[in-house]
Amino acid sequence: MTLLGKLTLQALPLQEPLALYSGFGVFAIVLAILAWVIIKGYGPYVWREWITSVDHKRIGVMYCILAFVMLLRGMADAIMMRAQQAMAYNAPGYLPPSHFDQVFSAHGTIMIFFVAMPFVIGLMNVIVPLQLGVRDVAFPTLNSVSFWLTAAGVLLVNLSLVVGEFDKTGWLPYPPLSELRYSPGVGVDYYCWSLQISGIGTLMTGINFVTTILKLRAPGMHYTRMPMFCWTALASNLLIVAAFPVLTATLAMLLLDRYVGFHFFTDTGGGNSMMFMNLIWAWGHPEVYILALPAFGIYSEVVSTFSNKPLFGYRSMIYATMAICIISFTVWLHHFFTMGAGADVNAIFGIASMIIAVPTGVKIFNWLFTMYGGHVRFTSPMLWSIGFIVTFAIGGMTGVLLAVPPADFQLHNSVFLVAHFHNVIIGAVIFGVFAGYVYWFPKAFGFTLDETLGKWAFWLWLIGFWVAWGPGYVVGLEGMTRRLQHYDVAEWRPWLIVAEWGVVIVLLGIAAQIAQIVVSVRTREQRRDVTGDPWDGRNLEWSTASPPPPFNFAVLPDVTDQEPYWDMKERAREMGHLTRPEPEYQPIHMPRNSATGFVTAFLAVVTGFALIWHIWWLVVLGLIGAYATFVVFAWRDHDEDLIPVEEVARLDRANRAARSAALQHRQLRREAETQREPRE
């Protein structure tokens, strides 16, 4: 036992130039960005306004940036796998098996935990408090801790690229393969500790948002007046609170097996490896809906805004959401019908899985009926939504097919399954967060994104997705199993080459998204939106300035309708002016910035790294540091800053003036339009 535990120079990938160069490349880029920030003198600003910020909007934006950067990493893995499979027909390709295994494991882990999750949570952070008409989430500092713990998990996963190795067992570490005996390296430990750390962050987000939505709503906002995105966020966070502890406990058991010789999951020692599958999927299936439900909420907002109509079947949408929330806990066994539980058990879980399609179908029809007869504006958020409806309907149907146990016995572990879940997760979750990103971007930054490039991005993603994953269904039906590093079946080859081109098209879509940001930032003065309401929106997030002031609302809005902001605008249109007289402004207390989250995350990385490499003294040091941080935070004297009344009044007056001008402008345009088109 040395001072550095298991860590030696051999942990560096000196024999694997690819990993070495890409690892150090990333390291160099990060250093370059840091140097740029410091040299340009942005350091204090970044520290004060972002790193230590407890403002939900800033935290949300940081989540989204983190997710987008990790999407680039996940896509790099995807293109590597696709290139390998296009080459490795009767040949070894360019990735040796041990490296290929790490690539698919890292790709899956990163895409689910560090792309989809932070993107969804980021959008909830930016928007939910605004839609509820409140000033922040229930526990702002905890929110910052959640974000930074997620970032800590991201850092550890990426560190495994250069120090040691990553997990080779797939995105879920099934025993016995993941037990010490068959995976003696640090890969599984990197996986477990990254997810334990970020998982605690996610659980705290769940607690934070459930509390916020249940307890902090603007006066008059009953449950049946909450925007659909808030409802789906509530459902998603309830699922987080119920499911994430299961994940934490399951990984803790695996860690006990690996670190201290327990036998929870080793069949020889009195344990049961199938127990791991049951537990991990008791978290895993709800996880699907943790991601998908908020995306459904985004589509509801977008479809209603751009159809200029209230959401069709609002109440049925709530019932459907909550039904999915509950049923999602009763289907986990469809992930291992082949376990051998017997026909009755399989039938019950098969039927339960198909039942979820019913509330989901209700939602699809509600979106279609919202569009029906509406004045649909085909903006890019709307295109993502329509692309979603088509893509997701097909992906959903292949899911129902897989829920038929005899069919699943054939298709289990085949590329057909992998095509199915990419079909739903890209079609629903990724398209959804992109729709939300374009839709709410002007809210967060005060200017709109370039529409032409946005539409390019959409079409490239849509076509690229189908070219990449359509062939997956075909080779899956032809019997190709998943995770193949090489193969010798000639019929698969052309399809795998087509699939490689699909990823290239998706990459062009991502390039369009990057170009969209660059172009939009450069031309931001022309695209500035002073009204805070660029799309003629219907919910409260559009009733405040863009970007919103730190306190969101100078005076908390009074909610009297299910579409509060639309309702206010209608009344104002009737009367020809803003209906509310200027309020009596009050100074506002806002929670003070805190380095707690950042420091906690730093210590979490140190502790996690030490645990992975068995550096026990550093573990102790890290834990003491974490406790000290907690004590310092708990004993702080000043936890709030006061925003003076003049500042509140100044910001709000500017917004009121812009809003009233916009109102008159729209009023004139409306009158002109009604004079032109004769009434039907």
Q: Which residues are catalytic?
A: 63, 73, 77, 81, 104, 125, 136, 143, 146, 150, 202, 205, 212, 285, 287, 289, 300, 316, 360, 363, 420-422
107 binds, among Cu ion, ligand HEM, none (CB under 5 to 8 A by kind): ligand HEM
Among 430, 457, 568, 662, binds ligand HEM (CB under 6 A): 430
What the block records as the tokens of 108 is 């899956």
285 binds, among ligand HEM, Cu ion, none (CB under 5 to 8 A by kind): Cu ion
Neighbours of 658 (CB within 10 A): 17
Does 220 interact with ligand HEM (rule: CB under 6 A)? no
170 binds, among Cu ion, ligand HEM, none (CB under 5 to 8 A by kind): ligand HEM
CA distances from 116 to 111, 342, 432 (A): 6, 35, 10
81 binds, among Cu ion, ligand HEM, none (CB under 5 to 8 A by kind): ligand HEM
Distance CA 166, CA 173 (A): 11
425 binds, among ligand HEM, Cu ion, none (CB under 5 to 8 A by kind): ligand HEM
Which window, 421-429, 485-493, 514-522, 646-654, contacts ligand HEM (CB under 6 A)? Answer: 421-429
116 versus 457: smaller Cβ distance to ligand HEM: 116
Instruction: State the minimum distance, in angstroms, from the CB of residue 181 to ligand HEM.
Output: 20
Instruction: State the minimum distance, in angstroms, from the CB of residue 66 to ligand HEM.
Output: 14
Closest CA to 534 of 442, 660, 666: 442
CA dihedral 446, 447, 448, 452 (to 10 degrees): -160
The residue at minimum Cβ distance from ligand HEM is 108
104 versus 598: smaller Cβ distance to ligand HEM: 104
Does 107 interact with ligand HEM (rule: CB under 6 A)? yes
Instruction: State the minimum distance, in angstroms, from the CB of residue 443 to ligand HEM.
Output: 24
Instruction: State the minimum distance, in angstroms, from the CB of residue 279 to ligand HEM.
Output: 17
The residue at minimum Cβ distance from Cu ion is 285
CA distances from 504 to 83, 419, 437, 643 (A): 10, 17, 23, 50
Among residue numbers 378 through 417, which ones bind ligand HEM (CB under 6 A)?
415
Among residue numbers 113 through 132, which ones bind ligand HEM (CB under 6 A)?
115-116
Output phi, psi for 528, to 5 deg.
-60, 140
Among 243, 318, 418, 590, binds ligand HEM (CB under 6 A): 418
388, 432 contact by CB (below 8 A): yes
Location of structure tokens 């299961």: 246
Does 419 interact with ligand HEM (rule: CB under 6 A)? no
What the block records as the tokens of 428 is 């629903």
Instruction: State the minimum distance, in angstroms, from the CB of residue 455 to ligand HEM.
Output: 19
Instruction: State the minimum distance, in angstroms, from the CB of residue 179 to Cu ion.
Output: 24
Does 78 interact with ligand HEM (rule: CB under 6 A)? yes
Closest CA to 101 of 495, 482, 419, 504: 482
Closest CA to 509 of 416, 383, 631, 343: 383
Output phi, psi for 155, to 5 deg.
-60, -45
Among 188, 303, 317, 506, binds ligand HEM (CB under 6 A): 506
503 binds, among ligand HEM, Cu ion, none (CB under 5 to 8 A by kind): ligand HEM
Output phi, psi for 588, to 5 deg.
-125, 135
Does 13 interact with ligand HEM (rule: CB under 6 A)? no
Three-state SS for 84-135 is HHHHCECCCCCCCHHHHHHHHHHHHHHHHHHHHHHHHHHHHHHHHHHHHCCC
320 binds, among ligand HEM, Cu ion, none (CB under 5 to 8 A by kind): none
Location of structure tokens 């009297």: 560
What the block records as the tokens of 270 is 């009195």
Distance CA 124, CA 563 (A): 19
Among 302, 318, 425, 588, binds ligand HEM (CB under 6 A): 425
Does 112 interact with ligand HEM (rule: CB under 6 A)? yes
Distance CA 118, CA 291 (A): 10
Location of structure tokens 């398209």: 431
240 versus 425: smaller Cβ distance to ligand HEM: 425
Helix H segments across 478-615? Answer: 492-522, 564-575, 596-612
136 versus 167: smaller Cβ distance to ligand HEM: 167
Closest CA to 542 of 573, 513, 520, 563: 563
Instruction: State the minimum distance, in angstroms, from the CB of residue 274 to Cu ion.
Output: 16
63 versus 306: smaller Cβ distance to ligand HEM: 63
Query: Could you give the angle at which helices 492-522 and 451-477 cross, rounded to 10 degrees?
Result: 160
Among 13, 108, 118, 271, binds ligand HEM (CB under 6 A): 108
210 versus 424: smaller Cβ distance to Cu ion: 424
Neighbours of 621 (CB within 10 A): 15
Does 82 interact with ligand HEM (rule: CB under 6 A)? yes
3-state secondary structure of 599: helix
- Name the strand (E) or helix (H) holding 632: helix 616-634
171 versus 459: smaller Cβ distance to ligand HEM: 171
Does 435 interact with ligand HEM (rule: CB under 6 A)? no
Which window, 106-114, 356-364, 523-531, 625-633, contacts ligand HEM (CB under 6 A)? Answer: 106-114
CA distances from 374 to 378, 390, 486 (A): 12, 19, 51
Does 89 interact with ligand HEM (rule: CB under 6 A)? no
229 versus 283: smaller Cβ distance to Cu ion: 283
Length of the chain, in residues: 680
Query: Could you give the angle at which helices 596-612 and 616-634 cross, rounded to 10 degrees?
Result: 160
CA distances from 587 to 82, 458, 553, 555 (A): 58, 44, 12, 10
Which window, 15-23, 50-58, 107-115, 650-658, contacts ligand HEM (CB under 6 A)? Answer: 107-115
Query: Could you give the angle at which helices 56-87 and 97-109 cross, rounded to 10 degrees?
Result: 150
Binding site residues, Cu ion, CB under 5 A:
285
Residues in binding contact with ligand HEM, number by CB under 6 A: 26
396, 358 contact by CB (below 8 A): no
3-state secondary structure of 643: strand
57 versus 285: smaller Cβ distance to Cu ion: 285
What the block records as the tokens of 88 is 């490795």
Residue 415's Cα: distance from chain center in Å? 24
Query: Could you give the angle at which helices 117-132 and 187-215 cross, rounded to 10 degrees?
Result: 10
Type of residue at 229: F
Instruction: State the minimum distance, in angstroms, from the CB of residue 332 to Cu ion.
Output: 6
Mark 258-297 with x for binding to ligand HEM (rule: CB under 6 A) and - for no binding: ----------------------------------------
573 binds, among ligand HEM, Cu ion, none (CB under 5 to 8 A by kind): none
Among residue numbers 477 through 496, which ones bind ligand HEM (CB under 6 A)?
482-484
353 versus 655: smaller Cβ distance to Cu ion: 353
Residues lying near ligand HEM in the complex (CB under 6 A): 78, 81-82, 104-105, 107-108, 111-112, 115-116, 170-171, 415, 418, 422, 425-426, 430, 465, 468, 482-484, 503, 506
